[in-house]
Chain A
Amino acid sequence: QQQVKQSPQSLIVQKGGISIINCAYENTAFDYFPWYQQFPGKGPALLIAIRPDVSEKKEGRFTISFNKSAKQFSLHIMDSQPGDSATYLCALENFNKFYFGSGTKLNVKP
């Protein structure tokens, strides 16, 4: 049973552009929504996270938008840079059990 659906599977953005990655979920029992960044050959690293009582959280160039009624949350990367090229994983958490999306491979063209 897939708890979270992530899209798109891959994304190509020009340097300086905005990258947008979306995740949708069904079960409302989740109470923590982190995004992880993963480079090839490395483990996922926490990028930014949000709780459902907040609709938006911004950290530098990274912003999470959360729509509780639509059961969707998204990651926006402003002024995308080639160094942002990586796989991005959204996740849902409930009592320490994490469910991950299938990942979005972002390629930022110079």
Chain B
Amino acid sequence: NAGVMQNPRHLVRRRGQEARLRCSPMKGHSHVYWYRQLPEEGLKFMVYLQKENIIDESGMPKERFSAEFPKEGPSILRIQQVVRGDSAAYFCASSPLGGLYSNQPQHFGDGTRLSIL
């Protein structure tokens, strides 16, 4: 399967724990985007990354949330000290080009459903 791979599909954490969500983009894609989807709501942009660079993090909460896309390996969305309000579906998307090459469709993974007890 050459699509965007996200894992785990489901993640349960207790309040105060850390959550790590992983995303492997499609082969040949070097741009990764993270979105959050709350029940009955659309997708909300969180962060846009290229390899080793954060391009736009304007949608990320200022505290507890961080993202990285290292030179090797998947992109990681990290949520520290999780709270009940962090419960949501987190989707990752990738595209082959970015920056000045806009109008590129983003290809989505099937998401990670995060539940906070």
Q: Could you tell me the distance between the alpha carbons of A93 and B108 in the complex, rounded to whole angstroms?
A: 15
Q: Could you tell me the distance between the alpha carbons of A32 and B44 in the complex, rounded to whole angstroms?
A: 17
Given contacts A41-B110, A43-B109, A43-B110, contact A89 B43 (CB under 8 A): yes
B40 to chain A, nearest CB (A): 8
Number of residues on chain B facing chain A (CB within 8 A):
30
Given contacts A6-B42, A43-B91, contact A98 B106 (CB under 8 A): yes
Is B33 located at the chain interface by the 8 A CB criterion? Answer: yes
Interface residues of B in 28-73 (CB under 8 A from A): 31, 33, 35, 40-45, 48, 55-56
A96 touches B104 (CB 8 A): yes
Is A16 located at the chain interface by the 8 A CB criterion? Answer: no
B99 touches A96 (CB 8 A): yes
B57 to chain A, nearest CB (A): 11
Which residues of A come within 8 Å of B, CB atoms? Answer: 6, 31-32, 34, 36, 41-46, 49, 51, 89, 93-103
Interchain Cβ contacts under 8 Å between A and B, 6 examples: A42-B111, A43-B6, A96-B56, A98-B33, A98-B43, A101-B42
The 7 closest A-B pairs by CB, nearest first: A43-B108, A100-B42, A100-B43, A32-B103, A102-B42, A43-B110, A96-B98
